[in-house]
Amino acid sequence: MFDLLKKTMLTGIGIASMTKEKIEELGKKISEESKLTEEEGKKMVNDLLKQSEKAREDLENQVQKLVKQALEKSNIPTWEDLNRLEKRIIKLENLGKETDK
């Protein structure tokens, strides 16, 4: 499970970890070396930024999914479980107060 998590993170971390400035810098460098027009260069940078954002979102979703699966397998209660129990406790406490009257 953790090997899969590690692989997923390492796969997506490349472009996902690049900052906007680094992507723009890379785009300018590639544009100059490829002799792209200013418009083509801007389009390429915008495409790289979109890919970076998508990679970040995909990585985050995959990590959340894997963490959730790991928690389920280890029987660790979630916040949802704790909130549900808290509501039941409050309800039982309120029932106890009503019967004391």
Question: Mean pLDDT score of the chain, rounded to an integer?
Answer: 77
Tokens read off for 100: 């004391």
Q: Which backbone phi and psi does 75 adopt, to 5 degrees?
A: 60, 35
pLDDT of residue 5 exceeding 50 = no
Q: Residue 89's pLDDT band (boundaries 50, 70, 90)?
A: very high
What long-range pairs does 71-77 form, CB within 8 A, spacing at least 24?
Answer: 73/1
Question: For residue range 32-41, what is the model confidence (pLDDT) as tens digits?
Answer: 777 777 787 7
Number of domains in the chain: 1
Instruction: State which residues form the domain around 18.
Output: 2-100
Q: Which backbone phi and psi does 81 adopt, to 5 degrees?
A: -60, -45
